[in-house]
Amino acid sequence: MKVLAVMDTKRLSSFPDVPTLKEATGLDWTFVNWFGLVLPKGVPADIRAKLIEACAKAHARPEVQDALKARGITPVWETPEEFKEFAMNFSKMATELLTDLGLAKQ
């Protein structure tokens, strides 16, 4: 199998010679895989803050970064507010795409 392009805004460190979709075709379109940690509503603010701090520290550890990169994952840490904005934008874009393709109803 030959990788023709990646659908991210920049080339992946795991495939440095593979262009982005925009570089390869001129299409300014991205679609990335992502992971998030979600808590239920009502978690006390002090516990929420401790969990965010512990997760940020764990994510920054070299062995975690290396393990993610070894699997072709670009490690990104975002604040809860940044992640919420990303997830909302992703949901909107995915809904539009799936609707345009006839795979989802409006």
Quick one: tokens of 7? 């659908």
Q: For the segment 25-58, what is each residue's pLDDT rounded down to a tens digit?
A: 998 888 888 889 999 999 999 999 999 999 999 9
Q: State whether 20 and 56 are in the same domain.
A: no
Is residue 92 in some structural domain? yes
Q: State whether 25 and 60 are in the same domain.
A: no
Which sign, positive or negative, has the C-alpha torsion 84, 105, 33, 43? positive
Cβ proximity of 37 and 52 under 8 Å: no
Q: State whether 2 and 52 are in the same domain.
A: no
Query: What is the pLDDT at residue 13?
Result: 82
Q: State whether 89 and 62 are in the same domain.
A: yes
Q: State whether 15 and 57 are in the same domain.
A: no
Is residue 85 in some structural domain? yes
Is residue 106 in some structural domain? no
φ and ψ at residue 57, rounded to 5 degrees: -65, -45
22 lies in which domain range? 1-32
Q: State whether 86 and 55 are in the same domain.
A: yes
Q: For the segment 77-87, what is each residue's pLDDT rounded down to a tens digit?
A: 999 999 999 99
Is residue 20 in some structural domain? yes
- This prediction has a pTM of 0.73
